[in-house]
Amino acid sequence: MIQMLEPMWSEFREEAVTTRRVLERVPADKLSWKPHPKSMSLGQLALHVAGIPGNLAKLAQVDELDASQASFEPSAPSDLNAVYATLDQSIRSAEECLNGMSQEAALASWRLTVRGKELFSKPRIGLLRSIMLNHWYHHRGQLSVYLRLLDIPVPVIYGRSADENPFA
């Protein structure tokens, strides 16, 4: 692995453990639950959280995505095993991407377009940082709110939660 990706690699490994801990709290009998009609279901959100690193690793393999050609409709899992299998595969794909990326590829430009119009361009390492990691954390936080609304104990993420205190 190139040196510039080592901090991201370390962070990714730590956050993967935390993400698994949150996903393990998702109740199997509530996968279709939604906090609002416009929201993703709990199952859709859990599957999305599980798949983000792997999906972004795939995007990082190309130089551009035309968003008009992509489907952003979240899938619903059949059960929690599908969520866990997706997370395992997603982590493997992200690890392979980070391990195999050259410095030249990490610094190369990546573009998001819509029918030829550029929405943004940034170095590939920026795509991985902002969308693979930050986007992942955003939706994991959203998932923790779903758990709270369902009165499911929220696990420790970065420190104590109202349900767990690693410092006690």
The predicted model scores a pTM of 0.95
Q: 41-67, pLDDT tens digit by residue? A: 999 999 999 999 999 999 999 999 999
- Identify the CA nearest to 61 among candidates 108, 14, 17: 108
- For the domain that residue 113 is a member of, what is the CATH number? 1.20.120.450
Judge whether 125 lies within some domain: yes
Question: Is residue 157 situated within a structural domain?
Answer: no
Q: How many domains does the chain have?
A: 1
pLDDT of residue 1: 84
Confidence of residue 168 (pLDDT cuts 50, 70, 90): confident
CB–CB of 27/62 below 8 Å? no
Mean per-residue pLDDT of the chain: 96
Contact, 128 vs 60, CB < 8 A? yes
> Which residues span the domain enclosing 69?
3-149
d(CA 168, CA 164): 9
Which phi and psi angles does 45 have, rounded to 5°?
-65, -45
Residue 162 covered by a domain: no
